[in-house]
Amino acid sequence: MKCILWHTVGMTDFLSRARGALVGLAVGDALGTTNEFKVAGTFTPSTGMVGGGAFQLEPGQWTDDTSMALCLADSLLAMGRYDSFDVMDRYMRWFKDGYRSSTNVCFDIGGQVRAALFDFEHEQRVPVTAERSNRAGNGAIMRLAPVVIAGFEHREIREIVVTAGLSARETHYSVEAEAATEVFAALLVGALLGWAPEHIINVGWASTGPAFDEMAARVISTNPAERASWESETSGYIVHGLRLAVHGLLDFPSFKDATLAIANMGGDSDTNAAIYGQLGGAYFGVEAIPASWRSTLYQGEEIDALARALVDLRLKPPVTRFDEDL
Protein backbone atom coordinates (compact mmCIF):
# COMPACT_ATOMS: atom_id res chain seq x y z
CA MET A 1 0.00 0.00 0.00
CA LYS A 2 1.49 3.34 -1.03
CA CYS A 3 1.80 6.11 1.43
CA ILE A 4 -1.35 5.64 2.33
CA LEU A 5 -4.40 7.59 2.82
CA TRP A 6 -2.71 10.27 0.73
CA HIS A 7 -6.10 11.85 0.13
CA THR A 8 -6.25 12.89 3.80
CA VAL A 9 -3.79 15.73 3.27
CA GLY A 10 -3.16 18.00 0.30
CA MET A 11 0.28 18.27 -1.23
CA THR A 12 0.74 21.87 -0.06
CA ASP A 13 -0.09 20.88 3.49
CA PHE A 14 2.18 17.87 3.27
CA LEU A 15 5.14 19.92 2.06
CA SER A 16 4.70 22.27 5.01
CA ARG A 17 4.62 19.30 7.38
CA ALA A 18 7.70 17.68 5.84
CA ARG A 19 9.61 20.95 6.03
CA GLY A 20 8.38 21.35 9.60
CA ALA A 21 9.77 17.94 10.56
CA LEU A 22 13.32 18.76 9.47
CA VAL A 23 13.37 22.43 10.40
CA GLY A 24 11.66 21.57 13.69
CA LEU A 25 14.41 19.07 14.48
CA ALA A 26 17.12 21.71 14.06
CA VAL A 27 15.14 24.40 15.89
CA GLY A 28 14.54 22.09 18.85
CA ASP A 29 18.22 21.21 18.92
CA ALA A 30 19.31 24.88 18.85
CA LEU A 31 16.80 25.85 21.55
CA GLY A 32 17.59 22.91 23.80
CA THR A 33 21.36 23.27 23.79
CA THR A 34 21.12 26.25 26.17
CA ASN A 35 19.98 24.11 29.09
CA GLU A 36 21.60 20.79 28.22
CA PHE A 37 22.99 18.92 31.25
CA LYS A 38 21.28 21.33 33.67
CA VAL A 39 18.83 20.35 36.41
CA ALA A 40 15.32 21.73 36.13
CA GLY A 41 14.66 24.46 38.69
CA THR A 42 18.30 25.54 38.89
CA PHE A 43 18.27 27.96 35.93
CA THR A 44 16.16 30.72 34.45
CA PRO A 45 13.98 29.19 31.73
CA SER A 46 14.74 30.23 28.17
CA THR A 47 12.16 32.19 26.22
CA GLY A 48 13.88 32.04 22.85
CA MET A 49 16.90 30.97 20.85
CA VAL A 50 19.85 32.37 22.80
CA GLY A 51 22.69 29.87 22.36
CA GLY A 52 25.26 29.43 25.09
CA GLY A 53 25.04 26.23 27.10
CA ALA A 54 27.78 23.69 27.69
CA PHE A 55 29.29 24.26 24.24
CA GLN A 56 28.94 28.07 24.25
CA LEU A 57 27.22 28.13 20.88
CA GLU A 58 25.96 31.19 19.05
CA PRO A 59 22.18 31.65 18.86
CA GLY A 60 20.82 29.29 16.24
CA GLN A 61 23.77 26.91 16.16
CA TRP A 62 22.94 23.25 16.67
CA THR A 63 24.63 20.08 17.90
CA ASP A 64 25.08 16.44 16.89
CA ASP A 65 21.33 15.84 16.46
CA THR A 66 21.14 18.11 13.44
CA SER A 67 24.60 17.22 12.15
CA MET A 68 23.62 13.57 11.87
CA ALA A 69 20.25 14.42 10.34
CA LEU A 70 21.98 16.48 7.66
CA CYS A 71 24.39 13.61 6.99
CA LEU A 72 21.34 11.41 6.41
CA ALA A 73 19.70 14.00 4.15
CA ASP A 74 22.86 14.42 2.08
CA SER A 75 23.24 10.67 1.69
CA LEU A 76 19.64 10.12 0.62
CA LEU A 77 19.93 12.87 -1.98
CA ALA A 78 23.32 11.73 -3.28
CA MET A 79 22.53 8.01 -3.45
CA GLY A 80 18.82 8.12 -4.27
CA ARG A 81 18.20 5.50 -1.60
CA TYR A 82 19.02 4.67 2.00
CA ASP A 83 22.57 3.29 1.76
CA SER A 84 24.10 2.01 5.01
CA PHE A 85 27.66 2.35 3.81
CA ASP A 86 27.32 5.91 2.55
CA VAL A 87 25.44 6.98 5.68
CA MET A 88 28.20 5.63 7.92
CA ASP A 89 30.88 7.21 5.73
CA ARG A 90 29.20 10.59 6.21
CA TYR A 91 28.88 10.09 9.96
CA MET A 92 32.61 9.32 9.97
CA ARG A 93 33.38 12.51 8.04
CA TRP A 94 31.37 14.48 10.59
CA PHE A 95 33.22 12.82 13.47
CA LYS A 96 36.70 13.23 11.99
CA ASP A 97 36.46 16.34 9.82
CA GLY A 98 33.53 18.36 11.17
CA TYR A 99 31.44 17.77 8.04
CA ARG A 100 27.94 19.09 8.66
CA SER A 101 28.87 20.64 12.01
CA SER A 102 27.64 24.12 12.91
CA THR A 103 31.15 24.92 14.18
CA ASN A 104 33.18 22.94 11.60
CA VAL A 105 34.33 20.47 14.24
CA CYS A 106 32.60 17.53 15.92
CA PHE A 107 32.22 18.86 19.45
CA ASP A 108 29.47 16.55 20.72
CA ILE A 109 29.00 12.84 20.03
CA GLY A 110 27.16 10.11 21.92
CA GLY A 111 29.01 7.11 23.29
CA GLN A 112 27.07 4.56 21.24
CA VAL A 113 27.63 6.53 18.05
CA ARG A 114 31.36 6.84 18.71
CA ALA A 115 31.66 3.10 19.39
CA ALA A 116 29.72 2.24 16.23
CA LEU A 117 32.01 4.41 14.12
CA PHE A 118 35.09 2.72 15.57
CA ASP A 119 33.53 -0.66 14.74
CA PHE A 120 32.71 0.51 11.21
CA GLU A 121 36.34 1.49 10.64
CA HIS A 122 37.36 -2.04 11.56
CA GLU A 123 34.59 -3.94 9.71
CA GLN A 124 31.93 -2.33 7.54
CA ARG A 125 29.56 -5.30 7.41
CA VAL A 126 27.72 -6.53 10.49
CA PRO A 127 27.60 -10.35 10.65
CA VAL A 128 24.59 -12.30 11.84
CA THR A 129 26.65 -13.39 14.84
CA ALA A 130 27.01 -9.82 16.10
CA GLU A 131 25.59 -9.35 19.59
CA ARG A 132 22.83 -6.86 20.22
CA SER A 133 23.57 -4.13 22.76
CA ASN A 134 21.46 -3.66 25.87
CA ARG A 135 21.94 0.12 25.63
CA ALA A 136 19.37 2.35 23.97
CA GLY A 137 20.37 6.00 23.69
CA ASN A 138 18.17 8.56 22.01
CA GLY A 139 20.60 9.19 19.14
CA ALA A 140 18.68 6.76 16.95
CA ILE A 141 15.57 8.97 16.86
CA MET A 142 17.06 12.45 17.20
CA ARG A 143 18.08 12.41 13.50
CA LEU A 144 15.24 10.44 11.93
CA ALA A 145 13.18 12.97 9.96
CA PRO A 146 15.07 12.72 6.62
CA VAL A 147 14.56 8.94 6.50
CA VAL A 148 10.80 9.36 6.85
CA ILE A 149 10.11 12.38 4.63
CA ALA A 150 12.34 11.31 1.70
CA GLY A 151 10.15 10.38 -1.26
CA PHE A 152 7.26 9.94 1.15
CA GLU A 153 4.46 10.06 -1.42
CA HIS A 154 5.84 7.12 -3.40
CA ARG A 155 6.82 4.75 -0.61
CA GLU A 156 5.19 1.78 1.11
CA ILE A 157 4.29 2.14 4.78
CA ARG A 158 6.18 -0.97 5.79
CA GLU A 159 9.33 0.14 4.00
CA ILE A 160 9.31 3.53 5.78
CA VAL A 161 9.06 1.90 9.20
CA VAL A 162 11.55 -0.89 8.44
CA THR A 163 14.08 1.54 6.95
CA ALA A 164 13.74 3.69 10.05
CA GLY A 165 14.68 0.62 12.10
CA LEU A 166 17.68 0.02 9.83
CA SER A 167 18.81 3.60 10.34
CA ALA A 168 18.74 3.04 14.11
CA ARG A 169 20.84 -0.13 13.91
CA GLU A 170 23.71 1.72 12.25
CA THR A 171 24.76 3.21 15.57
CA HIS A 172 22.38 1.67 18.12
CA TYR A 173 22.44 -2.10 17.55
CA SER A 174 19.77 -2.73 20.16
CA VAL A 175 16.32 -4.31 19.92
CA GLU A 176 14.98 -1.57 22.18
CA ALA A 177 16.44 1.28 20.11
CA GLU A 178 15.28 -0.26 16.84
CA ALA A 179 11.73 -0.74 18.14
CA ALA A 180 11.59 2.81 19.53
CA THR A 181 12.75 4.19 16.20
CA GLU A 182 10.08 2.22 14.35
CA VAL A 183 7.42 3.57 16.74
CA PHE A 184 8.69 7.11 16.23
CA ALA A 185 8.59 6.63 12.45
CA ALA A 186 4.94 5.56 12.75
CA LEU A 187 4.14 8.67 14.80
CA LEU A 188 5.84 10.86 12.19
CA VAL A 189 3.89 9.20 9.37
CA GLY A 190 0.60 9.98 11.08
CA ALA A 191 1.62 13.58 11.73
CA LEU A 192 2.78 14.05 8.13
CA LEU A 193 -0.57 12.78 6.90
CA GLY A 194 -2.40 15.35 9.02
CA TRP A 195 -4.09 12.92 11.37
CA ALA A 196 -5.55 14.12 14.66
CA PRO A 197 -3.29 13.50 17.68
CA GLU A 198 -5.53 10.75 19.05
CA HIS A 199 -5.13 8.92 15.74
CA ILE A 200 -1.40 9.61 15.44
CA ILE A 201 -0.74 7.74 18.67
CA ASN A 202 -2.62 4.65 17.48
CA VAL A 203 0.44 3.12 15.85
CA GLY A 204 -0.67 -0.51 15.79
CA TRP A 205 -1.04 -0.35 11.98
CA ALA A 206 2.77 -0.11 11.74
CA SER A 207 3.65 -2.99 14.07
CA THR A 208 6.72 -4.99 13.12
CA GLY A 209 6.28 -7.49 15.95
CA PRO A 210 6.31 -7.90 19.75
CA ALA A 211 9.22 -5.51 20.38
CA PHE A 212 7.37 -2.73 18.55
CA ASP A 213 4.14 -3.44 20.43
CA GLU A 214 5.87 -3.49 23.81
CA MET A 215 7.67 -0.23 23.06
CA ALA A 216 4.48 1.49 21.90
CA ALA A 217 2.77 0.50 25.16
CA ARG A 218 5.66 2.00 27.15
CA VAL A 219 5.84 5.37 25.41
CA ILE A 220 2.21 6.12 24.55
CA SER A 221 -0.35 6.87 27.24
CA THR A 222 -3.89 8.24 27.15
CA ASN A 223 -3.57 9.37 30.78
CA PRO A 224 -2.62 13.07 31.02
CA ALA A 225 -1.35 12.71 34.59
CA GLU A 226 0.97 9.89 33.59
CA ARG A 227 2.26 11.92 30.65
CA ALA A 228 2.91 14.92 32.93
CA SER A 229 4.97 12.69 35.23
CA TRP A 230 7.33 11.98 32.34
CA GLU A 231 8.70 15.53 32.67
CA SER A 232 11.00 14.30 35.44
CA GLU A 233 12.63 11.83 33.03
CA THR A 234 14.96 13.87 30.82
CA SER A 235 17.95 11.57 30.36
CA GLY A 236 19.40 10.36 27.08
CA TYR A 237 17.45 7.11 27.27
CA ILE A 238 15.42 6.64 24.09
CA VAL A 239 12.22 5.83 25.99
CA HIS A 240 12.40 9.13 27.85
CA GLY A 241 12.86 11.17 24.68
CA LEU A 242 10.02 9.41 22.90
CA ARG A 243 7.68 9.87 25.85
CA LEU A 244 8.39 13.59 25.97
CA ALA A 245 7.61 13.89 22.26
CA VAL A 246 4.24 12.21 22.82
CA HIS A 247 3.64 14.49 25.83
CA GLY A 248 4.46 17.53 23.71
CA LEU A 249 2.09 16.45 20.96
CA LEU A 250 -0.87 15.69 23.24
CA ASP A 251 -0.56 18.22 26.05
CA PHE A 252 0.62 21.55 24.60
CA PRO A 253 -1.32 23.88 22.30
CA SER A 254 1.48 24.93 19.95
CA PHE A 255 4.90 24.03 18.61
CA LYS A 256 6.40 26.98 20.48
CA ASP A 257 4.91 26.05 23.84
CA ALA A 258 5.90 22.39 23.65
CA THR A 259 9.42 23.01 22.38
CA LEU A 260 10.19 25.63 25.02
CA ALA A 261 8.73 23.43 27.76
CA ILE A 262 10.92 20.48 26.78
CA ALA A 263 13.99 22.65 26.22
CA ASN A 264 13.53 24.04 29.75
CA MET A 265 13.34 20.62 31.41
CA GLY A 266 17.13 20.35 31.42
CA GLY A 267 18.88 17.01 31.15
CA ASP A 268 19.37 15.98 27.54
CA SER A 269 17.32 18.98 26.52
CA ASP A 270 18.77 19.54 23.04
CA THR A 271 17.98 16.01 21.89
CA ASN A 272 14.63 15.81 23.64
CA ALA A 273 13.58 19.09 22.03
CA ALA A 274 14.90 17.90 18.65
CA ILE A 275 12.84 14.71 18.93
CA TYR A 276 9.69 16.64 19.73
CA GLY A 277 10.62 19.23 17.09
CA GLN A 278 10.31 16.59 14.39
CA LEU A 279 6.90 15.42 15.55
CA GLY A 280 5.55 18.86 16.38
CA GLY A 281 6.90 20.31 13.15
CA ALA A 282 5.30 17.50 11.16
CA TYR A 283 1.98 17.99 12.94
CA PHE A 284 1.75 21.80 12.92
CA GLY A 285 3.72 22.54 9.74
CA VAL A 286 6.73 24.78 9.22
CA GLU A 287 4.71 28.01 9.43
CA ALA A 288 3.88 27.22 13.07
CA ILE A 289 7.56 27.42 14.00
CA PRO A 290 8.16 31.03 15.11
CA ALA A 291 9.62 33.07 12.25
CA SER A 292 12.27 34.55 14.54
CA TRP A 293 13.53 31.06 15.37
CA ARG A 294 13.63 30.04 11.71
CA SER A 295 15.51 33.20 10.73
CA THR A 296 18.04 32.76 13.56
CA LEU A 297 18.64 29.07 12.84
CA TYR A 298 22.11 28.40 11.47
CA GLN A 299 21.79 27.35 7.81
CA GLY A 300 18.04 27.52 8.26
CA GLU A 301 17.30 28.25 4.61
CA GLU A 302 19.53 25.37 3.50
CA ILE A 303 17.82 22.97 5.91
CA ASP A 304 14.43 24.03 4.58
CA ALA A 305 15.66 23.52 1.00
CA LEU A 306 16.95 20.04 1.90
CA ALA A 307 13.50 19.08 3.16
CA ARG A 308 11.95 20.22 -0.12
CA ALA A 309 14.49 18.23 -2.12
CA LEU A 310 13.97 15.10 -0.01
CA VAL A 311 10.23 15.17 -0.63
CA ASP A 312 10.83 15.14 -4.39
CA LEU A 313 12.90 11.93 -4.32
CA ARG A 314 11.83 8.58 -5.75
CA LEU A 315 13.92 6.21 -3.70
CA LYS A 316 15.46 2.96 -4.87
CA PRO A 317 15.45 -0.01 -2.44
CA PRO A 318 17.73 0.38 0.60
CA VAL A 319 21.26 -0.99 0.72
CA THR A 320 22.11 -2.61 4.06
CA ARG A 321 25.40 -3.55 5.67
CA PHE A 322 23.67 -5.98 8.05
CA ASP A 323 23.94 -9.63 7.04
CA GLU A 324 20.71 -10.37 8.94
CA ASP A 325 18.84 -8.43 6.24
CA LEU A 326 20.21 -10.53 3.36
Domain contains 52: no
- If pLDDT is split at 50, 70 and 90, which confidence band does 10 have? low
Q: What CATH number corresponds to the domain at position 311? A: 1.10.4080.10
User: Which of 231, 227, 211 is closest to 219 using CA atoms?
Assistant: 227
Domain contains 299: yes
- If pLDDT is split at 50, 70 and 90, which confidence band does 157 have? confident
Domain contains 65: yes
Range of the domain at 237: 23-37+59-102+113-122+134-315
Domain contains 321: no
How high is the pLDDT of residue 2? Answer: 53
- If pLDDT is split at 50, 70 and 90, which confidence band does 49 have? very high
Domain contains 42: no
Domain contains 78: yes
The count of domains in the chain is 1
Mean pLDDT of 19-45: 97
Domain contains 274: yes
Using CA atoms, how far residue 299 sits from 87, 155, 210, in Å, is 21, 28, 40
Query: Counting Cβ atoms within 10 Å, is residue 217 exposed (0-12), middle (13-18) or buried (19+)?
Result: exposed
**Taking 50 as the threshold, does the pLDDT of residue 8 lie above it?**
no
Domain contains 88: yes
Q: How many CB atoms lie under 10 A from the CB of residue 96?
A: 12
Q: Report the SS3 class of residue 188.
A: helix
Mean pLDDT of 247-274: 98
